Amino acid sequence: MSVVFVAVSQLPTPFGVFSMHGFLDQDTGKEHVALTMGEVGNGLPVLGRLHSECLTGDALFSMRCDCGFQLEAALQAIATEGRGVLLYLRQEGRGIGLLNKIRAYALQDAGADTVEANERLGFAPDQRDYAICKPMLEHLGIAELNLMTNNPRKVKALEEFGIRVAERKPLQIAANPHNRKYLLTKAGKLGHLLGDIHQGEAEQS
Ligand SMILES: Nc1nc2c(ncn2[C@@H]2O[C@H](COP(=O)(O)OP(=O)(O)OP(=O)(O)O)[C@@H](O)[C@H]2O)c(=O)[nH]1
Ligand SMILES: [Zn+2]
């Protein structure tokens, strides 16, 4: 695995001050980040999140997906616990990249769901590879996570390369009229464990 640690600094946020660890994947040139708070390398399970890059949701306030809301909720949960890790993985668009995600969104605007759109563009529904997490977690001394996710494939991937998941913690955000179909497709076709997706719409509308 070609992911190497490069530098660490502080990152003050509205949630608290994190340590920001920068990594380089020498094979792809991708730059990944781990945010940590508290003592994460002491052998006890760490509250954790693997967050896949979503420029539109994380930085541009998109309501098409739940990513930005999940990012905020995960950082808040880590800050509340005073200890945890968030890996910010540069796997934009479930691994197809930003421009292809915009192409996929155009197909979704015309009626396709998120899986059909990826397939029409010649991609698998989810092209992410979580192997990059292993050297990052090893560098941080983390072997066991309480993982915030609704995606059982993330749990399986971590366990396959030797990171124990002591507990899966759901990270479900209230749906809005713009992301309800996307969330229903995630639950129906991508295997995400989501509760009542209709819940929360009344609050949003
Ligand atoms: N190709 C594509 N990627 C999307 C779309 N909407 C969000 N994404 C990307 O999906 C990734 C987030 O994945 P999700 O399926 O929302 O959630 P997850 O990470 O699998 O699961 P959770 O841990 O429960 O959040 C990010 O890389 C987003 O950029 C879409 O419509 N098409
Ligand atoms: Zn998103």
* Domain range annotation of the chain: 3-91+128-190
CATH architecture under which domain 3-91+128-190 falls = 3-Layer(aba) Sandwich (3.40)
Torsion angle in degrees (nearest 10) through CA of 182, 130, 126, 36: 20
Cα(15) to centroid of ligand 2, in Å? 21
Kindly identify the ligand whose nearest atom is closest to the C-alpha of 112: 1
CB 21 less than 6 A from any atom of ligand 1 = no
Ligand 1, atom 8, residue with closest C-alpha: 93
The pLDDT tens digits of the residues spanning 34-51 come to 999 999 999 999 999 999
- Distance between CA atoms of 175 and 128, rounded to whole angstroms? 24
- Give pLDDT, residue 1: 63
Q: Whose CA is nearest to atom 24 of ligand 1?
A: 150
Bridging pattern class, strands 144-148 and 164-169: parallel
Per-residue pLDDT tens digits for 52-93: 999 999 999 999 999 999 999 999 999 999 999 999 999 999
> Beta strands 31-37 and 84-89: pairing type?
antiparallel
Structure tokens at 189: 């076709």
pLDDT in tens, the chain (205 residues): 699 999 999 999 999 999 999 999 999 999 999 999 999 999 999 999 999 999 999 999 999 999 999 999 999 999 999 999 999 999 999 999 999 999 999 999 999 999 999 999 999 999 999 999 999 999 999 999 999 999 999 999 999 999 999 999 999 888 889 889 888 888 888 888 887 775 444 333 3
Ligand in nearest proximity to the CA of 92: 1
